[in-house]
Structure 1
Amino acid sequence: MAILFADIRGFTPYAEKTSPERVVALLNEYLAAMTEEIFAQDGTVDKFMADGVMALFGAPLDYNDATERALRAALAMQQRFAQLKAHWSGDAAALGLGIGINTGEVVVGNLGSERKMDYTAIGDAVNLAKRLESIAERGQILLGEGAYRRAQAALPITELAPRQVKGKRELCRVFAVD
Structure 2
Amino acid sequence: MIQYASESINLPGEITFKDVREIFFYQIAKISCFYFLLFCAIFAAVNFINGWPRIVYGSDALNLFMNSMLIIVMSVLFTLLLLLLLYVKFSRAYKKNERMKSKRTYTLNQEGIRICSKKYDLIFNWDEITAVFEYKNIFRVNTSSGQYIAIPKHFFHSEEEMNRFKEIILKNTETKKLKFKKDQH
In terms of fraction of residues, the more strand-rich structure is: 1
Give yes or no for TM over 0.5. no
Q: Give 1 or 2 for the bigger CA radius of gyration.
A: 2
TM-score by length of 1: 0.29
